[in-house]
Amino acid sequence: MFTAAILAYKHFVVASSYLLLVALSSMLFALSATGAGTFDIAMLGYPAIIIFAALLGGIGLFGTVLSLVLVQCIILTWLVMEGVITPNTPKLTWSHLTFIMIIFVITGFCVFILVQDIRRLMTSLQLEYTKVKKNREHIQYLAHHDPLTNLPNRLLGERLFNEKLAQSEANGLQLALAFIDLDNFKPVNDALGHSAGDRFLQHISQLINEKLSDDECLIRFGGDEFIVLAANITDRKHIETLCERLIDWCSSEFEVFQTNIVVSASIGVAIAPKDGAKFKQLCRKADVAMYEAKRNGRNRFEFYDVKFDEESDEKFSLIQRLRPAVLANQFEVYYQPLIDLKSGQICSIEALVRWPQEDGSLVFPDKFIPLAESSGLINPLGEWVLIQACLFCAKLHRNGHSEISVAVNLSFAQFKDGTLPSILKRALDLTQLNPKFLELELTESILADENGSIPEQLEKMKNLGVQFAIDDFGTGYSNLNYLRKFNAHKLKIDRIFINTLGLDENDVPLVSAIINIAESLGMVTVAEGIEHEAALKKLEEMGCDVGQGFYWSKPVPEKQIEALIASQSYTL
């Protein structure tokens, strides 16, 4: 037993338990063998040893001790039956009773202590289980809810979608998924900070959530994007009414940090099962419809249409092919002549870039220029077009057409990094073109940027000696202050005012006024989009200087424009 105590002290608990219980059982065996055999009161100690073995150890200790006790009982019985030992039946005395009671008390007390420990352990385990359960529930909540707004996140949203779709289909109705994106939310973060933006999102989400019906639920998709699931939709009017309400709620004014904030919302709608039966599928389609709503002016909603996907696929395909095409200069510059209406001769040409495809078709600028602007490719593409136009104009001069100038369109995006003046100088130095024969066409949106770096860049470019033309006049800001402050050489009247000239008198006063203003400022007027003789005659009567349009020629490749200039023949 002393050895068992030492082992227990050194933390060899299992070994000490084995040794202690074997020693106790051996001691009981010896007492029984020298006493009354199997009738000896020492036999009462065996149950206690078996109980201790079960409580103190595992199946190994319990099995070992139980087997040992059974073997000892068998041996003891055999020894008595064979007469090897003679049982000494003692007379019953108070000492025997005392000994039995001591065994019972010790056994009971030890079992009581062990059971109390087990109860404390069970209580501790129950408390721990309760904590784990609460933590698990909290983790589950965090995993399925947005921490900022406490709204369901997209993970829980998918489950809600499946539940509401099943409910709607069981009722023979539809489910609508409205994808909401807040318009102009970024300026809120930029001006007031992200904490103000977060507070605003909390306000607007709480407002919408409180106003939705039981068949509708709000989900935060991420950032300033939300989803509304509307079950049991009866018809399209039902969805339109919901979207109108959502736009109205999103346009509410909220006070955040003593500042009143108002935004708008663009919403895309997809319907299940018509547009799909999967949450992610409908989210993507509603997202596509939402961007269509943004393109169409914002603060509105659009229903998903399969043509949106076709446009997205085409756009994605163009983006993937655009960068290698720009790097490899896989473009072609077409030219359209500008005609002096007094002499009938070509006085200038406008450079218009085209993107030839492997199948022989052409992609026009309205398709790929916005992609080039958004992907940072507009500067290398614009520089290449500028160089090609200058090279071709210089070539025309060498061939004897020394008075013809070339016009190149500039994009607002080309001014963003401030390198356009140096790009222009590099192109002029490379091509050796006299700067006065290069016209740069600017839209009114470029001129409207009075506080940015554009005025400074324009001044540097003007100092290089190039000419400027204001393009599409009348369709943009149409501020006469631009004409007064900016010394442009030409004013180009947009084609939308020219198409009906000679056929309808509605645009005559406006076109006449533009021509008179340009004349008073010493500017040359150019009418774009002339397609019939009636418009030409009317423009000549009003004193327009230059014409451009399909009446003479569509934009054509370099060789064809050379032939037109050489022959001075302007018919198609």
**Rounded CA gap, 202 and 183, in Å?**
16
Across residues 340-345, what is the average pLDDT? 92
- As a whole number of Å, the end-to-end CA separation of the chain is 119
Please check the confidence at residue 318 and state whether its pLDDT lies above 90. Answer: no
**Does residue 387 contact residue 378 with C-beta atoms inside 8 Å?**
no
Domain 326-567 maps to which CATH number in 1.10.287.70, 3.20.20.450, 3.40.50.300, 3.40.50.720? 3.20.20.450
Flag the least confident range among 75-89, 156-170, 203-217. Answer: 75-89
pLDDT at 480: 64
pLDDT at 4: 47
CB-CB contact of 44 with 31 (8 Å): no
What type of residue sits at position 140?
Answer: Q
Phi and psi torsions of 160, nearest 5°: -65, -40
As given in the structure block, the two tokens for residue 136 are 């698990």
Q: What is the pTM of this model?
A: 0.63
- Looking at the chain, the whole-number percentage of residues with pLDDT higher than 90 is 48
Q: What is the pLDDT of residue 506?
A: 79
pLDDT above 70 covers a percentage of the chain that reads: 90
The bridge status of strand 259-261 relative to strand 254-256 is: antiparallel
CA 371-377-379 angle, 5° bins: 125
143-165: burial string, b at 16+ Cβ within 10 Å, e else:
ebbbeebebbbbebbbebbeebb
For the chain, the average pLDDT equals 85
> pLDDT tens-digit profile of 529-551?
999 999 999 999 999 999 999 99
Q: Which three-class secondary structure state does DSSP give residue 363?
A: strand
What is the location of CATH 3.20.20.450 in the chain? Answer: 326-567
d(CA 394, CA 355): 23
Between the alpha carbon of residue 180 and those of residues 183, 370, 452, the distances in Å are: 9, 24, 32
Q: Cα separation of 126 and 186, whole Å?
A: 49
Residue 253 C-beta-side C-alpha neighbours within 13 Å:
4
Please, which pLDDT band fits residue 475 given cuts at 50, 70 and 90? low
For residue 9, name the pLDDT band (cuts at 50, 70, 90): very low
CB 527, CB 544: distance < 8 Å: yes
Whether 201 shows a pLDDT value over 60: the answer reads yes
For 61-70, what is the mean pLDDT? Answer: 79
Per-residue confidence at 483, pLDDT binned at 50, 70, 90?
Answer: low
pLDDT bracket for residue 571 (50, 70, 90): very low
Q: How far is CA 313 from the centre of its chain?
A: 18
CATH 3.30.70.270 in the chain: give the residue spans: 154-304
Give pLDDT, residue 93.
67
pLDDT band at 477 (very low <50, low <70, confident <90, very high): low
pLDDT at residue number 482: 65
Length of the chain: 572
Q: For residue 499, name the pLDDT band (cuts at 50, 70, 90).
A: confident
pLDDT higher than threshold 50 for residue 569: no
Residue 163 CA: distances (Å) to CA of 175, 178, 232, 243, 278:
11, 17, 12, 22, 12
For the cut 80, the answer to whether the pLDDT of residue 10 exceeds it is no
Both tokens assigned to 264: 């708008």
Cβ neighbours of residue 205 under 8 Å, at least 6 residues apart?
A: 149, 151, 218, 220, 226
Specify the range with the lowest mean pLDDT, choosing from 111-125, 314-328, 405-419: 111-125
More confident residue, 353 or 484: 353
Lowest mean pLDDT among 440-449, 473-482, 512-521: 473-482
Convert the pLDDT of each residue in 132-145 to its tens digit. Answer: 889 888 888 888 89
pLDDT above 90: residue 110 = no
* The CATH number of domain 154-304, selected from 3.20.20.70, 3.40.50.1980, 3.30.70.270, 3.30.360.10: 3.30.70.270
- Give pLDDT, residue 503: 73
Structure confidence by residue, pLDDT tens digits, 233-269? 989 999 999 999 999 999 888 888 888 888 999 999 9
Chain segment 24-49, per-residue pLDDT in tens: 778 877 877 777 777 777 777 778 77
Q: What is the mean pLDDT of the segment spanning 292-315?
A: 86
pLDDT > 50? residue 374: yes
